[in-house]
Amino acid sequence: MNSNNWFFIYHDISEEGWSTPKGFALALENEGINLFKFRFSNPKNFSLPENEFFIENNIKIVVSFYAGKCLTLERELIRLKNDLGLFIICELGDEPQTLINNSTRASISDISLSPDHQSSLYWKNQKYNCIWFTHWADTIIYKHNSNCKKNIFIGTSMGWRKHNILLKILFGKSYINKKCNPLENAQLYQQSNIVFQYARWNEITRRLFEAAACKCCILTNRLPEHTHLETIFAHNVSAIYYDNLFSLIYQLIRLILKPNLHKTIAKNAYEIVINHHTQISRAKELIRLVNLKNNI
């Protein structure tokens, strides 16, 4: 299977703006993959091109990006698999939260990609070829801007989750929490010294990588060992973890009393992400996996 013609399916509710699949698609194209992109906005009402389209364009590989249950997508992927024997790759979205929705896509995929290590093991135990493909920062927009003054002590875009009120009381205007689109989110991180996160599902979140790419110090709740988060960002080296309310207060006191601490941790996290966890590194990894699977 030596065709560089890939068919890329992704869900996007708007024609304009940035999205994770769009950034990943561009990275694949920059690596020499000829992508035929197919965007759908209504998960309940769309259909992929007829079989002839794939034959005429010598398309052998299909990549799908969708988070959640989508019967229409599953039906179309099964058609392409059964009729044409195409090589199917499915990115499984926001696992572990969406794991219950992914059994069909995991089962029909030649390669499935999970951002959650435990979920990838679950699918492997079902005899499916699932790879731990954790989150990344899209450096098209999430990037350090040396001309942007970091005038926010703690910034976050997590919404009204645990510890939000405490941080607002303690830091007032020096703490900014706002829901925003990706471009606004990137600007918020570029202005923040520390990015606060609370993962309510004990999941690795994309925000950690995006914050690090903007040279922010990561302050987040400690996740279970099975997530393997600390194999990426080590405590007190490239991130700061808290265990409970009192632990959070202690870490905040440390950050206040040691003004250079957050800069050192931010620098270390930035280098880790830029070198290993961008859309570019993930695109290269997927191409490597495809070539390995097909002995190219």
CATH number of this structure's domain 152-276, picked from the four choices 3.40.50.2000, 1.10.3720.10, 3.40.1080.10, 3.90.550.10:
3.40.50.2000
200 DSSP assignment: T
Structural Rg of the chain based on CA atoms: 20
Q: What is the pLDDT of residue 230?
A: 97
Question: Under 8 Å CB-to-CB from 62, ≥6 apart: which residues?
Answer: 6, 7, 8, 9, 77, 80, 86, 87, 88, 89
d(CA 192, CA 63): 35
Q: What is the pLDDT of residue 169?
A: 95
In the numeric block, which tokens belong to residue 139? 């450096």
In the numeric block, which tokens belong to residue 134? 């954790």
**What's at 5, amino acid-wise?**
N
Q: What is the pLDDT of residue 296?
A: 54
DSSP string, 256-295: HH-TTHHHHHHHHHHHHHHHHSBHHHHHHHHHHHHHHHTT
235 DSSP assignment: B
Q: What is the pLDDT of residue 13?
A: 78
- Cβ–Cβ < 8 Å for 194, 217: yes
d(CA 233, CA 240): 9
Q: What is the pLDDT of residue 2?
A: 57
Same CATH topology for 5-136+278-293 and 152-276: the answer is: yes
In the chain the first and final C-alpha atoms are separated, in Å, by 7
Angle between helices 182-190 and 206-213 (to 10 degrees): 50
Q: What is the pLDDT of residue 1?
A: 55
Fold of the 5-136+278-293 domain: Rossmann fold (3.40.50)
Residue spans of the domains in the chain: they are 5-136+278-293, 152-276
pLDDT in tens, the chain (296 residues): 557 999 999 998 776 678 999 999 999 999 999 999 999 999 999 999 999 999 999 999 999 999 999 999 999 999 999 999 999 999 999 999 999 999 999 999 999 999 999 999 999 999 999 999 999 999 999 999 999 999 999 999 998 889 999 999 999 999 999 999 999 999 999 999 999 999 999 999 999 999 999 999 999 999 999 999 999 999 999 999 999 999 999 999 999 999 899 999 999 999 999 999 999 999 999 999 999 988 75
